[in-house]
Structure 1
Amino acid sequence: MTELSCFKAYDIRGELGVELNEDIAYRIGRAYALYLKPKRVVIGGDIRLTTKALKLAFSDGLRDEGVDVFDIGMTGTEEIYFATKNLAMCGGVEVTASHNPMNYNGMKLVREDSKPISGDTGLNAIKALAESLPWKDNGATKQVSPRGQYQKISNLDAYVEHLLTYITPSNITPLKLVVNSGNGAAGHVVDALEIAFNKFNIPIEFIKVHHDADGNFPNGIPNPLLIENREDTAKAVREHGADMGIAWDGDFDRCFLFDETGEFIEGYYIVGLLAEAFLKKDTSGNSRRQKIIYDPRLTWNTEQIIKENNGEAIMSKTGHAFIKERMREEDAVYGGEMSAHHYFRDFAYCDSGMIPWLLVAELLSVKKQALSEMVKNRIAAFPSSGEINSKLENPKLAIERVLNHYSEQAVDIDYTDGIGLAFNTVNDSGSFEWRFNLRSSNTEPVVRLNVESKGNIALMQEKTNELLELLRK
């Protein structure tokens, strides 16, 4: 039995021809069907050149176990999340490698109601079945009768209609937005939204950059987290005098925002903006406070905004499976991670890269403020380092070294995800608060550091340098 190395903690991802091919996709499809025993599954895929073949191979595996397959074509991951719930499917599959290199592809799997399937909620069991090939009998492949049906359908109109429920169209004032799809899957949704905006007289004008879907990625793999991938969006914002820039990764489950000067806005501060948007929108008249989920890497800005807007702040371990599970448990209206993943209760508790910018566009209109104005005070109040990755030989030992060094000085230690330590540093100039979070990667020998302070950028920078020196010792 050969181990399938394409199975990761939360999804399937592998190098083409080495870790993933059509035969492996078939095996995973058949294993998914054996494990979940679904009747109907919806499938879609990104724009990568190998996606269509892998999607059909996966579908064949499903169909050979008697599952009916509904193919919604070229999609972003969130379109599968929405379709699974909206069409009352037993499960959903997106074939995508998101922002991974050209020679990679993968899959994201959900079950009914778009509940995530990760390592401890079924992915490891699917992996074991795909490796052991229980449908083989003395080399012959068992056939299930009747074989499942395959049908192409569209769910785009219903998806776009749902997206528009997050805003009040009459609130929107004229806006010019730069949208950079990175030649990924987002462009077709932008086009559909543009048609809907015209229909409802929503005065938003799009400036489209790298808009056409192209699996050759002529402008590079769409990953706006990389600094070198941001300039095209920033430049277009400045050239066109736009109110905001939006860029997506390949399967557009994450969006990244730029203010009207072309400045990239760290995802941490977007979490605060969206928390505020939801809490201000709550007109239910219910005395119960709306709950907001957030990750432990950077927290103070988010916590303060939630408190000021009468919400309830709930910290969760980082990662989509943990956030989604906690959101369902708490019935939270919104959950946000600084990595640009944003989750919504009315979107089957799943993440979306389209809903966030719609909400921010409405905030721009209602508050009548530039985006830079909205975030500059928050950045000044809680300056942060952003996530800094260090590749180390022994991450566990490095984290222990940092904990031993700082634990006695800390006024609070949190172990929700890695270690989170907060401090109240007193010197001749007064009292200064700062904190950091340090956590290991699930998939590589890397530790991730985030540092923030209360209103003191010099202290934040000093402590960041101090921590990095100790970490990399």
Structure 2
Amino acid sequence: MTNNQNSGPLDLSASFKAYDVRGIVGESITEEMVEAIGAAFVDTLELTGQTVLVGGDMRPSSPSFCKAFARGATLRGASVKLLDLISTDELYFASGHFNSAGAMFTASHNPAEYNGIKMTRAGAVPLSSETGLKEIQELTAQYLASGIPSVPTPGQIGIQDVLKDYAGYLRSLVDLSSSRPLKVVVDAGNGMAGLTTPAVLGDQLLSALPLEIVPMYFELDGTFPNHEANPLEPANLIDLQAAVVAHGADIGLAFDGDADRCFVIDEKGDPVSPSAVTALVARREIARARATGEETPAIIHNLITSRAVPELVEADGGRPVRTRVGHSFIKAVMASEGAVFGGEHSAHYYFRDFYNADTGMLAAMHVLAALGEQPLPLSELGAEYEPYVASGEINSTVEDKAGAVAKVRAEYEHDGVSIDELDGTTFSADSGDWWFNLRASNTEPYLRYNGEAKDRATMESVRDAVLALVRG
């Protein structure tokens, strides 16, 4: 390879991010670059003589990128097992189960022209710019400039299917066999849940469960012909909401493109907030951990999740741990705290039993189990987990983000309000009536507002007052 990394499409700074690699195919991420990344991955993690797991999602570029990464890795002496089409949490399972480093080709919910790489150390330990990704970038640049040197004994490339093992492992963690019959509409968004849902919840590979699955957009299609595979955007839930009501279903599940996030819809077609899902799953995981003798199981929640989460965790005998936003950071805190479970407002759910990694499917199974073991509909079951009214995330275009936050601080910095800067700036009424957080985007001129209050009138009053200061 002779291309310099600074030549247009091979500008690595355009594709290497804080927690992964991603870019536009053929422009900021290319096969040549991916081959060099595969070699740099092996060298940085000292994987010569070991096995690396490589898989990808349904995007048109994923198969060729997987093979390019494998070529680079084997040139540096690692053997590669190609896992073929997988979800991101399948890679985490395989990395933990086989104790091998791995790479997943996906751009999650991004449009079809994008692809990227999520990389893990053995045991599903994530990589970030602070834990190896920067070194991989530097070595990739070197290999792009001068070529990849081959070791005397290159590695071999093989193929391995992990879908049945993955499905069986998830079923061993949540037993749905005794659930009351449930009708479940699943919107896979033409993403990887179209492959994993029949394997885990259906009878494709394992015995049938008392679930009637109504499939939506299960065809694997990385061009996303129906809607973006991003359930965080309300517009992408409309089809599922209508289908749940039309089919008289008990619940709806929406997955993102690489199927590591899951959103839940109740029988009325209304979304169940990720905070409510976090609280519901936390209750189940605390009870299970305490039943085995663990006195105060730790539950991770980021600072944007509802205050209902730490309140319920404490009431159930758990120990809430409040963290910054971000999956690689939360996985590290999961490990350091020995936490049994963690949840984010963005619908990422982390499990100690899943190698501290996030899996939307396992969270969905917990919700199905909680629904199926009692007679109430999901709207009533979930009501106790949503006692507050949330604003949702609101972006304001602000050039002077620090100045805007300073204006808000000047208004709210007084007795009766606590302020902390764990992640952005959080303002909390000591009365417990409301809180809000302002976080600056690292990549765009946005200041993000998230807030919550005891009732809608209070939430709207605080929201409007703060946004007037921010945008004024």
TM-score bracket relative to the smaller structure: over 0.9
The AA in structure 2 aligned to 1:109 is M
Q: After TM superposition, list the pairs within 5 Å mapping 1:443-462 onto structure 2.
A: 443-454=443-454, 456-462=455-461
Aligned counterpart for 2:60 among listed residues 43, 46, 49 = 49
Matches of 2:158 and 2:354, distance apart in 1? 25
Distance apart, 1:443 and its partner CA: 2.9
Distance apart, 1:196 and its partner CA: 4.6
- Is residue 27 from structure 1 mapped to residue 27 from structure 2 by the alignment? no
Please list the CA deviations of residues 48-90 of structure 1 after superposition, one character each: whole Å capped at 9, or x if unmatched: 011111111111111111110101110111111110111221x
Structure 2: 5+ residue stretches without partners: none
Matches of 1:400 and 1:92, distance apart in 2? 43
Indicate how the Cα distance of structure 1 residues 132 and 461 shifts in structure 2: closer, same or farther if over 3 A, else same: same
Matched residue of 1:25: which SS? helix
Specify the alignment match of 2:114 in structure 1. Answer: 104
Matched residue of 2:152: which SS? coil
Specify the alignment match of 1:8 in structure 2. Answer: 17
Distance apart, 1:438 and its partner CA: 1.3
Moved more, 392-401 or 181-190: 392-401
Distance apart, 1:246 and its partner CA: 0.2
Please list the CA deviations of residues 302-337 of structure 1 after superposition, one character each: whole Å capped at 9, or x if unmatched: 011112211111111110111111110111000000
Moved more, 436-445 or 195-204: 195-204
Matched residue of 1:70: which SS? strand
Specify the alignment match of 2:359 in structure 1. Answer: 352
Q: After TM superposition, list the pairs within 5 Å mapping 1:63-74 onto structure 2.
A: 63-74=74-85
Contact preservation (8 Å) 2:280, 2:385: no
The AA in structure 1 aligned to 2:58 is I
Specify the alignment match of 2:51 in structure 1. Answer: 40
Specify the alignment match of 2:171 in structure 1. Answer: 164
Specify the alignment match of 1:117 in structure 2. Answer: 127
The AA in structure 2 aligned to 1:144 is V
Aligned counterpart for 2:137 among listed residues 127, 144, 147 = 127
Contact preservation (8 Å) 1:102, 1:221: no
Matches of 2:374 and 2:413, distance apart in 1? 42
The AA in structure 2 aligned to 1:25 is V
Aligned counterpart for 1:270 among listed residues 254, 274, 277 = 277
Output the aligned Cα RMSD. Answer: 1.8
Distance apart, 1:349 and its partner CA: 0.1
Q: After TM superposition, list the pairs within 5 Å mapping 1:331-410 onto structure 2.
A: 331-379=338-386, 381-410=387-416
The AA in structure 2 aligned to 1:26 is E
Distance apart, 1:219 and its partner CA: 0.7
Matches of 2:326 and 2:397, distance apart in 1? 20
Matched residue of 2:291: which SS? coil
Please list the CA deviations of residues 150-195 of structure 1 after superposition, one character each: whole Å capped at 9, or x if unmatched: 1111111111111112223344111000011111111111111244
Calculate percent identity across the aligned residue pairs. 35
Matches of 1:198 and 1:305, distance apart in 2? 37
Distance apart, 1:285 and its partner CA: 4.2
Distance apart, 1:201 and its partner CA: 5.0
Distance apart, 1:396 and its partner CA: 2.4
Indicate how the Cα distance of structure 1 residues 198 and 40 shifts in structure 2: closer, same or farther if over 3 A, else same: closer
Specify the alignment match of 1:429 in structure 2. Answer: none
The AA in structure 1 aligned to 2:18 is A
The AA in structure 1 aligned to 2:458 is L
Matches of 1:471 and 1:378, distance apart in 2? 31
Specify the alignment match of 2:186 in structure 1. Answer: 179
Matches of 1:197 and 1:102, distance apart in 2? 28
Specify the alignment match of 1:301 in structure 2. Answer: 308
Matches of 2:202 and 2:268, distance apart in 1? 27
Specify the alignment match of 2:89 in structure 1. Answer: 78
Specify the alignment match of 2:226 in structure 1. Answer: 219
Specify the alignment match of 2:332 in structure 1. Answer: 325
Indicate how the Cα distance of structure 1 residues 302 and 22 shifts in structure 2: closer, same or farther if over 3 A, else same: same
The AA in structure 2 aligned to 1:345 is R
Please list the CA deviations of residues 116-136 of structure 1 after superposition, one character each: whole Å capped at 9, or x if unmatched: 101111111111111122883
Matches of 1:170 and 1:18, distance apart in 2? 48
Please list the CA deviations of residues 208-243 of structure 1 after superposition, one character each: whole Å capped at 9, or x if unmatched: 001111122211321111122111111110111100
Matched residue of 2:18: which SS? coil
Specify the alignment match of 1:150 in structure 2. Answer: 157
How many residue pairs get matched?
461
Specify the alignment match of 2:464 in structure 1. Answer: 465
Moved more, 165-174 or 74-83: 165-174
Matches of 1:464 and 1:185, distance apart in 2? 37
Matched residue of 2:186: which SS? strand
Contact preservation (8 Å) 1:293, 1:327: yes
Contact preservation (8 Å) 1:266, 1:386: no
Distance apart, 1:35 and its partner CA: 0.5
Aligned counterpart for 1:93 among listed residues 103, 108, 116 = 103
Distance apart, 1:112 and its partner CA: 1.1
Contact preservation (8 Å) 2:306, 2:388: no
Moved more, 189-198 or 16-25: 189-198
- Is residue 442 from structure 1 mapped to residue 439 from structure 2 by the alignment? no
Contact preservation (8 Å) 1:9, 1:442: no
Structure 1: 5+ residue stretches without partners: 426-431
Contact preservation (8 Å) 2:39, 2:148: no
- Is residue 62 from structure 1 mapped to residue 73 from structure 2 by the alignment? yes
Matched residue of 2:36: which SS? helix
Matches of 1:165 and 1:330, distance apart in 2? 24
Contact preservation (8 Å) 2:298, 2:340: yes
Contact preservation (8 Å) 2:305, 2:344: no
Distance apart, 1:40 and its partner CA: 1.0
Matches of 2:451 and 2:396, distance apart in 1? 14
The AA in structure 1 aligned to 2:389 is P
Specify the alignment match of 1:246 in structure 2. Answer: 253
Q: After TM superposition, list the pairs within 5 Å mapping 1:183-198 onto structure 2.
A: 183-196=190-203
